[in-house]
């Protein structure tokens, strides 16, 4: 049992055919925290997220979620267990109304319409703009609103752990700040533990408690957000921050 960790990953390896994209990654995500995985394009961050959520099977290593080995578990069972993956690129259903997108997020639940309605109200309190537009087709929303919808839809499954893959991608600095602030509030107020993948290191370290830096499929450095923010090496060599 791992009482303190929502997620513990041991020596994980994942391949695309002959290409080894994850080369022995180990990390922990403590209960109630925001942990970020940073790194350049192609470092293996998305592959790591896909392996945790069951979309990809690892060749080696273990994924332990709240004391249970979930390595190789089917994606739907992973969602039922309390992990939701918000993939890069949002992937909302463009022709469905915003409300129907949110209903899809609740499809694994069996706790009744009342509980789902309560969570819908909760989600709308964090994203009031989505409430105003709930009858609109999701494809007509702006990029930032689609990102909000993707997060909101994920919340409708009542996750204990949310995997967020580059929520800031393609958004203006103002929107990046707004979305990351909401992610932090959801963590604090709703108790959702967050594993946040970002290329935007500066923004991610502003909301995270702890960070891991990936390069070429490996974790090259890790530390508290404060430490990583202050480290010149981390900034220059791995994060490309000036």
**Cβ 152 to ligand ATP shortest distance, Å:** 22
The 3-state DSSP class for residue 176 equals helix
Distance between CA atoms of residues 241 and 11, nearest Å: 29
193, 230, 213, 181: CA torsion to nearest 10: 30
Query: Counting beta carbons within 10 angstroms of the beta carbon of residue 90, is it exposed (0 to 12), middle (13 to 18) or buried (19 or more)?
Result: buried
Q: Considering only 13-21, 137-145, 176-184, 187-195, which stretch makes contact with ligand ATP by CB under 6 A?
A: 13-21
Q: Which is nearer to ligand ATP, 109 or 202 (CB)?
A: 202
Stretch that binds ligand ATP, among 3-11, 27-35, 42-50, 53-61 (CB under 6 A): 42-50
Q: Which is nearer to ligand ATP, 16 or 113 (CB)?
A: 16
**Angle in degrees, 0-180, between the axes of helices 113-126 and 173-190, rounded to the nearest 10:** 140
**Minimum distance between the CB of residue 31 and ligand ATP, rounded to whole angstroms?**
25
Q: Which stretch binds ligand ATP (CB under 6 A): 35-43, 66-74, 155-163, 229-237?
A: 35-43
Per CB under 6 A, contacts with ligand ATP among 82-121 are 88
Size of the site for ligand ATP (CB under 6 A): 13
The residue from 43, 64, 196, 203 that contacts ligand ATP (CB under 6 A) is 43
Residue nearer to ligand ATP on the CB measure, 35 or 123: 35
User: 198-237: which residues touch ligand ATP (CB under 6 A)?
Assistant: 199
**Residue 137 CB neighbour total at 10 angstroms:** 16
Q: At what angle do helices 113-126 and 143-155 cross, to 10 degrees?
A: 150
Closest contact distance (angstroms) between CB of 211 and ligand ATP is 14
DSSP string, 50-97: HHHTTSS--SEEEEEETTEE-TT--HHHHHHHTEEEE-TT----TTSB
Cβ atoms of residues 162 and 197 within 8 Å = no
Task: Closer to ligand ATP by CB, 19 or 113: give it.
Answer: 19
- Contact set with ligand ATP (CB under 6 A): 16, 19, 21, 39, 41-47, 88, 199
């Amino acid at each position: 049992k791992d009482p303190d960790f929502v997620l513990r990953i041991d020596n994980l390896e994942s391949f695309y055919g002959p290409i080894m994209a994850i080369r022995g990654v180990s990390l922990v995500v403590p209960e109630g925290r925001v942990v970020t995985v940073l790194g350049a394009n192609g470092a293996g961050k998305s592959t790591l997220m896909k392996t945790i959520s069951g979309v990809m099977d690892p060749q080696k290593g273990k994924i332990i979620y709240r004391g249970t080995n979930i390595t190789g578990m089917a994606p739907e069972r992973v969602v039922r267990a309390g992990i939701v993956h918000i993939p890069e690129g949002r992937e909302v259903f463009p022709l469905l109304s915003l409300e129907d997108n949110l209903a899809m997020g609740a499809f694994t639940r069996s706790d009744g319409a009342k509980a789902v309605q309560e969570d819908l109200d909760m989600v709308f309190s964090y994203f009031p703009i989505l409430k105003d537009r709930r009858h609109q087709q999701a494809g007509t929303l702006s990029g930032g609103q689609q990102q909000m919808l993707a997060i909101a839809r994920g919340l409708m499954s009542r996750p204990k752990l949310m995997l967020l893959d580059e929520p800031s991608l393609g958004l203006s600095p103002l929107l990046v700040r707004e979305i990351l602030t909401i992610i932090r509030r959801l963590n604090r107020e709703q108790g959702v533990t967050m594993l946040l993948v970002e290329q935007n290191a500066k923004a991610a370290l502003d909301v995270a408690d702890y960070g891991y830096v990936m390069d070429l499929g490996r974790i090259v450095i890790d530390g508290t957000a404060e430490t990583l923010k202050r480290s010149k090496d981390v900034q220059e060599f791995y994060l490309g921050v000036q």
